[in-house]
Structure 1
Amino acid sequence: MASLKSLSTNLDFRKAKHLLRRASFNFTKEQLNTFVGMSATQAVTSLISVVPNALPEPFDPLPTEAPDGFWTSSTELPNSFTGQSRKRGVVTAWWWYNAMKQISLKHKLSFFFHTCFTVGKDDGAGAATYFYDYIRLMDFYAFGNIKTLAKKITLDNAMLDYLDNTQNNKNNPNENYAREYLELFTILKGEQIGAGNYTNYTEIDIQQAAKVFSGFKIQADRSAIDPDTGIPMGFVNKDQHDTNNKTFTAAFNNQVITGKSIDAEIFDELNDFVEMVFAQPETAKAYCRRLYRYFVKSKWDEEVETDIITPLAQIMINNDYEVLPVVEALLSSEHFYDADDSDATDEIIGSIIKSPMQMLSEICSMFSVTFPNPSTDALNYYYNFFFRFLHNSYFKAAGMDFYNPDDVAGYPAYYQEPDFDRYWFSSNTIIGRYKLIESLIEGKNTIGSGNIYASLDTVLFVKNKIANALDPNLLVTEMADLLYPEAIDADRITYFKTYLVDEGFPDYYWTGVWNQYLSTNDDVTVKTRLDALVIAMCNAAEFQLM
């Protein structure tokens, strides 16, 4: 039976790989070796330490003659700057760089919250600085309280613009945000049981929620600061807020939220509404299902629903919606490591198709890809490497418009039945995925064109990370152990070995070539073969999975 009981054995290399892939974007051999021998609880605990960002804020290196620089801390109005689309891309470059400099759950959970409280940065979220504040809000609550975040997000300037709530007034209600808040952000619909009745709420509840949300406005100059987070927020225009009582349906026990007319009390009204939504057990279950799909597997049966989702939801309720107790229980459990039944190879490990961001991050960290330092070479990092190559070329070709999903529901991989994560791998995205490793090795954009100002040195990777590089069989085996969730069989080893040793040639051919490189430092021959091997292994089916 599915079990949330903590894993009783220490992590071996296979389980360490599983945890590090699922819980971090930074995936290195050194960290894997650190995890081996730890208990699951110890390993998870090590991933929740709070570490300052390597980059305090993003930097726009353009225009070259007078860069806008640290524009997010400027006193100028955010929308007064040109190049807003580029600047939103720069914000994602800042976020990704920080994720790559930490071995932590923080950025995994921050992105998880983006999938819950979606803002499409290029689809109506306003100025790039507002999007920067939104990202900081996700980061701030990554180890925090989901219910509190569900209150704060309502006053986020990017969200106010994105879902039109800044236009929601007492005499001209706009229900867009209220609808998505219930349908997508919190309790979710449930099964429709009648006209306008979705089990977990009704159309009347949406109308009443819109009244609660009325009068909240964008603070364009970012002068309103949330005292809890220090992050700019919107404000309430009490003259445009519906001060009448809001009466909800039986879905919420016919609760009445008393209308308020004073600024501080209007925030109390918002607080009462969120507390009402989060008092429903189905809200906790909705978040636990999302966490399960994000960290464990996209589909599950009734046994998992009963033995994993339901008790996780109770942990969440018992901890008043703190996210860490739930995630720690899940990532430390026998179930997470597929150790709760007699077959430890059939369900969890290797069951998720990597997102384009996971694939990029794993390759860059495991292979020690060199790319420009944003602190000393901002133009090449932010603009040429990240914005032109990764943001505009790779991510879009791979089916992940970065931080800009096509729909307010988010990326289909996290919600769209029946395929879920299979959406990452299709005839439309496969070329983008396959061209990534090729581009990094060649140092040029093979999806489009141009220098990417980054490089992956396959020879140094093998020299520094592979202990038995002289033996082509052991070299392939060690690489597969690092790159793949599961070990490969003899046939796959033989196949990959052909990139090092031509068919029909003895293994000592490669031994001689590698020894020659070690003695002369001439890497021409070994580089050609190792480049081909790394491309083949990273584009193999096994590497698409985690």
Structure 2
Amino acid sequence: MIPSTLTPADAQHLMARACLGAEAPLLHSLQGKSAQAAIQELLSLAVDTPANSPTFSSWGSWESMLHNGEMGQARDRLNQEKMMLKQWWMQHLLTTASPLAERMVMFWHNHFTTSINKVNQPNLILQQHQLLRQHALGNFKTLLHAIAHDPAMLIYLDGGMNYKEQPNENFARELLELFTLGAGHYRESDIKAIAKAFTGWTVDRNNNRFVFEAQHHDASGATFLGQTVNDGDQALDVILAHPRTAEYIAEKCWNAFINTDQADPAEISRWATNFRASGYEIKALLESVLLSDAFWATQNRDKLSKSPLDLIVGLFRSQSLLQVPTVELVKWSEKLGQNLFVPPSPKGWAGGAAWITPQSLLDRYSLLSKLAHSLPHATLTALLDPAYQLK
């Protein structure tokens, strides 16, 4: 039942699921408010842009080093810049004043996955990351069109090598299976059709931008989901008009905010209907999710395993800990199984029970003991309780 007045436990549940841990000031401000008022307060927090965005090497400088045979120097610089990017995001996660927005940046980062280890151009990954933040609480239709034009995404899923002379279906396949409709809701012929629609979409690495090469585009038209499309943007609009797209994103929200069990079909249908009716406004979807009986149900609390990022960031935002260099926190996240900007596959991190293994539990306890040794004994004991791994 949706609480009319948030108790301390209710406020902590809301912040653990929808924010980045239960930091005291915000936690106290939400207590005593209605769920509706608390959620509106979280959604109204302005998305803050991270300070001091790092500057990375241009594509031309990488090409110059490779041309001059400076392979070792290029590799070392690339590794340094990858770590700079990871530390930069970790610092923002620890300090952001808009935790719900940043939670959604994490959500979209694991939905529209891209690995820096394949793109190998940190400035493109940074550009994509800022794109996700810009639209994290915006409009999904706008975000989907933007991500389809994103240079890092086109490189990661080989969309930049999709020519009418030699079609590449990788981006088309993942767009349908992982980003919008989900497996079982399209045919193999639809993959071929949408790949055809996206031919000629490529990347200008020197200028970090999307390029359409008309000479490599097949403009003869294709039948996709029963409709004729001539280009990628038309195909995206067909996807967005399909009822399954809103349902698929709603199911992803169920797994992220409720539990990893089978979603309630009636709830998913209600969320998806509201999502479509809003014109794909992400805030409208979040309101449906966070103001649902399923979100507040007792049986759904403590049903989500904390990701390494949730564990580390939540601990620092909710407890008074000694300062630890962000490079160490980045390394701990990687050790626990979540290497920032390097998802294991286009499917992202599996999440849920996959985070908890005998070895990962040992590593988590080691981390908690190391970071929390300055806390009172009772607090440390609570953090080491297996229940703390759930939220």
TM-score calculated relative to the size of structure 1: 0.66
- Cα–Cα, structure 1 residues 78 and 366, in superposed 2: closer, same or farther, change >3 Å? farther
Distance in 2, Cα, partners of 1:355 & 1:430: 12
Cα separation, 2, equivalents of 1:112 and 1:75: 29
Distance 1:330 1:53 in 2: 25
- 1:390 aligned onto 2:385: no
Q: Which runs of 5+ in 2 are unaligned?
A: 65-73
Match of 1:106 in 2: 101
Aligned partners of 1:365, 1:404: CA distance in 2, in Å? 24
Distance 1:284 1:435 in 2: 41
Q: Aligned equivalents of 2:142 and 2:240: distance in 1?
A: 10
Distance 1:34 1:129, change over 3 A: same
Paired residue for 1:364, among 306, 316, 329?
A: 316
Structure-2 separation of matches of 1:322 and 1:366: 30
Distance 1:75 1:202 in 2: 38
2:296 equivalent among 309, 314, 337: 337
Q: Does 1:187 align with 2:181?
A: yes
State the superposition RMSD in angstroms.
Answer: 2.1
More contact order relative to length (CA 8 Å, sep ≥ 6):
2
How big is each residue's C-alpha offset from its partner over 1:393-425, in whole Å with a ceiling of 9 and x where there is no partner? x12321222231211111111xxxxxxx11111
State whether structure 2 residue 207 is matched by structure 1 residue 207: no
Counterpart position of 2:265 = 305
AA matched with 1:206:
I
Deviation at 1:79, TM superposition (A): 6.4
1:51 to 1:406, Cα distance in 2 relative to 1, 3 A: closer
Alpha-carbon distance in 2 for matches of 1:156, 1:279: 22
Match in the other structure for 2:112: 117
- Residue from 250, 255, 262 that aligns with 2:227: 255
Structure 2 counterparts to residues 431-442 of structure 1, below 5 A: 431-441=362-372
Task: Quote the residue 1:427 is aligned against.
Answer: 358
CA contact (8 A) 2:171 2:195 kept: yes
Relative to structure 1, the CA distance from residue 313 to residue 79 in structure 2 (aligned partners, 3 Å threshold; closer, same or farther) is farther
Counterpart of 1:171 (choices 160, 165, 168) is: 165
Alpha-carbon distance in 2 for matches of 1:536, 1:138: 37
Cα distance change of structure 1 residues 329 and 78 upon mapping to structure 2, 3 Å threshold: farther
In 1: Cα distance, 2:60 partner to 2:323 partner: 32
Which residue of the partner structure matches residue 320 of structure 1? 279
Which residue of the other structure, out of 229, 239, 247, is the alignment partner of 1:277? Answer: 239
Tell me the distance in 2 between the aligned counterparts of 1:318 and 1:309. 14
Alignment partners' CA distance in 2, 1:424 and 1:165: 31
SS across alignment from 2:293: coil
Aligned length, in residue pairs: 379
Give the deviation of 1:370 after TM superposition: 4.0
Q: Name which of 199, 211, 217 aligns with 1:235.
A: 211
CA spacing shift, 1:54–1:132, aligned 2, 3 Å: closer
CA positional deviation for 1:121: 2.0
Kindly report structure 1 stretches of 4+ aligned residues shifted beyond 6 Å: 78-81
Give the AA of the match of 1:86. Answer: Q
How far is the alpha carbon of 1:9 from its aligned partner? 1.1
2:121 pairs, out of 113, 127, 131, with 127
1:245 and 1:51 mapped to 2: Cα distance?
40
Q: Is the 8 A contact 2:16 2:22 kept in 1?
A: yes
**Superposed displacement of residue 181, structure 1:** 0.7
Structure richer in helix, relative to its length: 2
SS across alignment from 1:19: helix
State the shift of 1:311 in Å: 0.6
> Is this contact kept in 1: 2:101–2:133, CA < 8 A?
yes
Is the contact made by 1:126 and 1:158 (CA closer than 8 Å) also made in structure 2? no
* Amino acid in structure 2 at the alignment position of 1:13: P
Corresponding residue number in structure 1 for 2:67: none
Provide the residue aligned with 1:216 in structure 2: 201
Which structure 1 segments of 5+ residues have no match?
Answer: 59-69, 191-199, 223-231, 259-268, 339-344, 373-384, 414-420, 443-456, 459-529
Identity %: 25
